[in-house]
Amino acid sequence: MRNNKSRRGFASMDPEKQRAIAIKGGRAAHEQGKAHEFTSEEARVAGAKGGTALARDRAHMAEIGRLGVRARQREKAKEMRESR
């Protein structure tokens, strides 16, 4: 049986260390001219695809809605407490 907590690889690193490595890679790619920079049209299309895919997950969308309602309720309660 394999141990799921491997100490090897990028995914097992501390998130801050992952971030530092990723930043270095991104900068190097831009300096070499190999980084892809999205046009506004490409970004719009990609965002639409992601939104469409996400919206198919009804349970996820319902959870987002519930979280939004709870956040708004907290904001309203805070406003009411502060106005007293």
Coil, helix or strand at residue 38: coil
- Summarised one tens digit per residue, pLDDT across range 39-54 is 999 999 988 998 888 8
Local structure of residue 5 (DSSP, 8 states): -
Residue 19 tokens read as 């971030």
> How confident is the model at residue 1, as a pLDDT?
44
Structural contact between residues 54 and 61, judged by C-beta atoms closer than 8 angstroms? yes
Predicted TM-score (pTM) of the model is 0.39
Q: How far apart are the first and last CA of the chain?
A: 61
